[in-house]
Amino acid sequence: MWNQAWLVLYTWLQHNDPSVPQYGPDEWTWVKGALSTIDRPYGIFDFFHHKIGSTHVAHHLFHEMPFYKADVATAAIKAYLEPKGLYNYDPTPWYMAMWRVAKTCHYIDDLEGIQYYKSLEDIPLSKDLKKD
């Protein structure tokens, strides 16, 4: 059970963050979809998971590449994409990122265009709304 919970959490953190865009059908391309992930440090777990979480952007772009070349590929991808604003990395420790993502990535407004996650905490409570 713990193993399955960890795998779900790990996968969730690889694909969800307030900075990761969600694309509607008219905006989505294979490359945009592949870049809709985020590299994070997972501490000791990087060793056990062959760095799949900290080299996940490379995995999305080159899924058939052997894991032992992912560090080299990630460095090259980062050097190329980061100056263009297309490389997504969050240095936050995974347990803090988990809390932030859980508190901020609740929904998107629409299925069209380019969307970013929003938080239910941003919606005013009805008691807080001013009456006209």
Which contiguous run of DSSP H or E holds residue 22?
strand 22-23
Phi/psi class of residue 38: alpha, beta or left (left: φ > 0; alpha: ψ in -120 to 50)?
A: beta
pLDDT tens by residue, 63-97:
888 888 899 999 999 999 999 999 999 999 999 99
Place of tokens 């440090």: 41
Residue 102: pLDDT band by 50, 70, 90 thresholds? Answer: very high
Give this prediction's pTM.
0.80
Distance in angstroms between the alpha carbons of the first and the last residue of the chain: 52
